[in-house]
A and B are shown apart, each in its own frame.
Chain A
């Protein structure tokens, strides 16, 4: 065993020479800038010079802002919805009749696969952010593993979901009108809301979850794999460790947006519109609900004589 260790250290010595041969000329009190072809676990001194760029920014954000922002945004979103529920209250629609078939079994399966992924990823993400309060150790370590497992499930559900909803999720003029009246959520009255199959709020969630999701997967993968080599970095003169630092910063900020919209999605489907969850269970949406909440879609169906 020791012989193997010595041999490996010998190889490491050779590797260190290899590394050293590639660094540009430096003075003794200045660390060199590596070509970016070093792995973090073995690179060392190369970090020092460029530490001020991304290293210090990461430390500053992690120490002062990330936890505070996550806490503030989560509590803020929850309080807003609690007030909305108490003051304005949920919307109720007649659920008589057969309803309109909106989600095929395939769409529902894909949706629930992604939903399970989010249920695994988002709470475990919060567990890591507030790991101090949970005392760290095995509980938070397990959360870290579950966070990765949830990601795999998200990757699987990502492509079918993106393709099946891409067209109806494209922006339309209804979205501007929807935003101007905030989807009719600020009034107790039943108002006709301009929206196609999906309203602007749903579209916002879709695009943050999809495009944001790609960035979250990418930045998360960088942190997960840690020792990887991207030759493209050499061209940009970026250190691999700096790329991971940027990834961590991005992952945190984007995580705030995803978490906020995820809570919004839960509130809307579970509380704000009574019975709206049914459409994701049996595929049928109440006709009354479609008439008001997706008026353009309703008109289109009427015109095509589908109702």
Chain B
């Protein structure tokens, strides 16, 4: 059986920095305050013609560096490329954060005596290693929308469809179509893709 290779793509020509994706994410997974699995960053703010925004979260990298450096091996990569981790194995050491090119890992202060607890990150709305759609999975990792055949919350609500997610073939198709219809300079790859997926 062949699987999709799930990837995120944020179109900086379309992103209007509404922060809807990060709100949708926080609401969907009932994230604690201060934990931002997805964020919107605006660059060259206020400079005409140069300003743009992008939405960033875990890119679910190929050969994810977080998975490679984890001292307790709490990460696993699904057949469809989604990078997930087991919070009951994670020790919150922070190595995944040092290894991550996107600053995706988040650390809630819910450990012993309010210290840094175990890591939390974007699951591409695919939950975790617990039983699919169980109360425990929801409590630890948030919604498992992928299992229900739904689009991840962030992309689902994106009003301008700047943020899209899906099989790389489909995402690439949309990307090429958009670049062509704009009729101007072609980027080699979508923002962050060369770092996340190589080439």
A residues neighboring B (CB under 8 Å): 2, 4-6, 8-9, 12-13, 16-17, 19-21, 23, 25-26, 28-29, 32, 40-48, 51, 55, 58-59, 62-63, 128-132, 134-137, 140-141, 143-145, 148, 223-224, 226, 241, 244-245, 248
Complex CA gap A145/B39 in Å reads 30
The answer to whether A21 touches B101 (Cβ under 8 A) is no
Q: Which residues does chain A contribute within 8 Å of B39, judged by CB atoms? A: 12, 16, 42, 44
> Which chain A residues border B46 with CB–CB below 8 Å?
21
A249 closest partner in B (C-beta) = B98
- CB <8 Å contact, A4 and B93: no
Contacts of B19 in A (CB 8 A): 9, 12-13, 16
Q: Does B146 contact A (CB under 8 A)?
A: no
Q: Can you list 12 A-B pairs, Cβ within 8 angstroms, ordered by A? A: A12-B22, A13-B17, A19-B41, A20-B44, A25-B44, A28-B191, A45-B102, A59-B68, A131-B71, A148-B115, A226-B94, A248-B95
**Is B103 in contact with A241, judged by CB distance below 8 angstroms?**
yes
Binary interface profile of B, 12-39, with partner A (CB < 8 Å = 1, else 0)?
1000010100110011000101101001
Shortest CB-to-CB span from B25 to chain A, Å, is 10
Interchain CB contact (< 8 A) of B68 among A26, A28, A51, A63: A63
Is A16 in contact with B40, judged by CB distance below 8 angstroms? yes
Interface residues as binary, B53-82 with A (CB distance below 8 Å gives 1, 0 otherwise): 010100000000100110111100000000
Q: Are A136 and B90 in contact (CB under 8 A)?
A: yes
Complex contact B92–A144 (CB within 8 A): yes
> In the complex, A134→B33 CA distance in Å?
32
B192 interface contact, C-beta 8 A: yes
Known: A26-B43, A47-B102, A131-B71. 16 other contacts (CB 8 A): A5-B26, A13-B19, A16-B17, A16-B41, A21-B45, A23-B45, A29-B191, A32-B43, A41-B34, A45-B102, A45-B103, A46-B103, A55-B100, A128-B93, A244-B94, A244-B97
Contact of B54 among A45, A63, A132, A145 (CB under 8 A): A45
Known contacts A5-B33, A144-B92; is A241 also within 8 Å of B43 by CB?
Answer: no
Are B45 and A129 neighbours in the complex by a CB distance under 8 Å? no
Q: Is there an interface contact between B41 and A62, defined as CB atoms closer than 8 Å? A: no
- Which residue of chain B lies nearest to A62 when distances are taken between CB atoms in the complex? B69
Query: By the criterion CB–CB under 8 Å, are A9 and B102 in contact?
Result: no
User: Shortest CB–CB separation between residue B85 and chain A, in angstroms?
Assistant: 10
Given contacts A141-B92, A223-B94, A226-B94, contact A44 B41 (CB under 8 A): yes
Cα A45 to Cα B90 with chains together (Å): 25
B43 near A9 with CB under 8 A, answer no
Residues of A with C-beta under 8 A to B118: 141
Query: How distant is B157 from chain A, measured CB to nearest CB, in Å?
Result: 14
**B residues 82-109 with Cβ under 8 Å of A?**
88-95, 97-104, 106-107
CB-defined contacts of A129 to chain B, threshold 8 Å: 71
- Residues in A whose Cβ lies below 8 Å from that of B22: 9, 12
Tell yes or no: B182 within 8 A of A by CB: no
- Contacting pair A41 B98 (CB below 8 A): no
Verify B41–A20 contact, CB threshold 8 A: yes
Q: A23-B43, A26-B43, A132-B73 are in contact. Are A140 and B107 (CB under 8 A)?
A: no
